[in-house]
Amino acid sequence: MTTDSRFATNDDRHQHRTELLAVIEDVFRTSTANEIAGRLDAAGIANGRVNDVTGVITHPNLIERDRWRSIEIAGGSIQTLRPPAIMHGHDEPMSASNSDTSISVPSPEVPR
């Protein structure tokens, strides 16, 4: 593609968008996500993977940084992500059943 004049400049790529997308889709269809990321990295093209649910749950950074927490809910427990900011030495409360908060209609005294 780097030698194809249809894709030489951004204007060219825009003008030949349909052909460009067909070329990209053909490459993506026959490659794994890791292969595509490797090729983009090697070409200096910014990229990032969009994970499915399994990819998020098993993401090595979340596991290594102990970002998952088990919380009790009615009928059992579930795994959930910990809050993004945690003060060192203070365990964050993570129980929905022990919360004093509730969702309700605002008090009439509260301006809207």
Q: If phi over 0 gives left and psi between -120 and 50 gives alpha, with beta otherwise, what is residue 98?
A: alpha
Work out the angle at residue 63's Cα, subtended by the Cα atoms of residues 99 and 76, and round it to the nearest 5 degrees. Answer: 40
pLDDT tens, position by position, 14-69:
999 999 999 999 989 999 989 999 999 999 999 998 999 999 999 999 999 999 99
pLDDT of residue 86: 72
80 bridge partner residues: 69
- Give the start-to-end residue ranges of the domains of the chain: 5-50, 51-85
Q: At residue 105, does pLDDT exceed 70?
A: no
* pLDDT tens profile 75-95: 999 999 988 877 776 665 555
Contacts of 10 (CB under 8 A, 6+ apart): none
pLDDT tens-digit map of 13-28? 999 999 999 999 998 9
